[in-house]
Amino acid sequence: MSRLQTRFTQAFGVDHPIAQGGMQWVGRAELTSAVANAGALGFLTALTQPTPDDLLKEIDRCREMTDRPFGVNLTILPSINPPPYAEYRQAIIDGGVKIVETAGYRPQEHVDAFKKHGVKVIHKCTAVRHALSAERMGVDAISIDGFECAGHPGEDDIPGLVLIPAAANVVKVPMLASGGFGDARGLVAALALGADGINMGTRFCATQEAPIHRNFKQALVDGDERATALIFRTYRNTARVARNAISEKVIAIEAEGKPFEEVASLVKGAKGREGLENGDTQHGIWTAGMVQGIIDTIPTVRELIETIVGEAVDIVGGRLAEAVSREEEKA
């Protein structure tokens, strides 16, 4: 099949300018290896594993499934009882992983350690100022997350159509566009806006290999672009999740001005994980992006990637090229 070569594919040794974002409970060896084998860049999610030793085992398991490049996501969040980030970081290094996606709070310590061991770092950001800060820290690439994304979009509410070119204007390292991407049109648009590829999360959840219950995959097919909710807005920690009974209840409690402690039991990660495993989409909160409005199939990972890349090549060489030639004829 035809390929699209960009600074991202060249820097990270992959065939296609597509990355699978690190997703809590979803970024496991089954999905990550399938993405890698299809020529894109997959990421295990470090904190999905209960201990650093378990992460090492998952890295080994993934390596048994693919001989292509893959990475690990390490998200650093402020917490009263934080996980042992330094130990997870060391497990990544000891596991011989050479690509890491960092996200979250004050990553400098981790970036320095990874760079010291020859690990390439992609840092996920939700604002241009954060991207520039990460670039100064020495990261190798940026993933810029627009307001449409699943998970935490930041507090600026800037959609990708503006955020991506604004970042591309000033960021010098390769950049992935994230948030709202799920098909060939999005990939072509991202490249046109100045990005070097796309990062997809929600779209990869609706694939055969995604290690979640089929009910959630079908919910993404059935949902439209309005089927998400923004929670934690009043706590200045906005998260985009699927709209269900739990997220609606959280929003109602927030509207009453109640503190986070009032919703904590509803939003426990373990509760969300139970739902992903038992198939109850109303059991807890689960992240989903607005991109579900354009998801209507549950393909294999390879089918998805090959369709996106193949159709993107057709768009660039077909409809867009024809539009240019028509203008030339008029001139």
Q: Give all domains of the chain, ordered by start, each with its CATH number.
A: 7-208 (3.20.20.70), 228-287 (no CATH)
Place of tokens 């990874």: 114
pLDDT at residue number 323:
87
pLDDT band at residue 269 under the 50/70/90 scheme:
confident
pLDDT at residue 328 is higher than 80? no
Helix (H, G, I), strand (E, B) or coil at 139: coil
The β-bridge relationship of strands 228-231 and 239-242 is antiparallel
Mean pLDDT of 27-48: 98
Q: What percent of the chain has pLDDT over 70?
A: 98
At residue 33 the predicted structure's pLDDT band, cuts being 50, 70 and 90, is very high
Tens-digit pLDDT profile for residues 147-181: 999 999 999 999 999 999 999 999 999 999 999 99
> Is residue 277 helix, strand or coil?
helix
> Which whole number is the average pLDDT over 49-64?
98
In terms of Cα–Cα distance, which of 35, 55, 30 is closest to 45? 55
What's the mean pLDDT in 265-289? 93
With 0.75 as the threshold, say if the pTM is over it: yes
CA neighbours within 13 Å on the CB side: how many for 259?
A: 1
pLDDT digits (tens, 9 = 90+) for 126-145: 999 999 999 999 999 999 99
